[in-house]
Structure 1
Amino acid sequence: MDTALTLKKRLRSEQLSEAVIQDLLNRSEIVNQLLNQKVRIDTFTGLRKMEFRLIELSEIPHALELEKAHELLEQFITVVNVEDGFSLTGQTDGVLACHQGIMTLIFIRSGRKDLADKGVEWILNYQITQRGEKCTWTGKDLYSRF
Structure 2
Amino acid sequence: MNRAIIIMGVSGSGKTTVGKKLSKSLRIPYYDADDFHSEENIEKMANGNALTDTDRWPWLEKLNNVMKEALKEHALILACSALKEAYRQRLTVGISVNWVYLSASYETIYKRMSQRNHFMKPQMLQSQFETMEPPSYGIQLDASKPVDELIEELTEYLKSHE
Give the TM-score normalised by structure 2.
0.31
If each structure's strand is expressed as a fraction of its own residues, which one has the higher value?
A: 2
Which fold has the larger relative contact order, with Cα–Cα distance below 8 Å and residues 6 or more apart in sequence?
Answer: 2
If each structure's helix is expressed as a fraction of its own residues, which one has the higher value?
A: 1
Give the TM-score normalised by structure 1.
0.34
User: Which structure's CA Rg is the greater one?
Assistant: 1
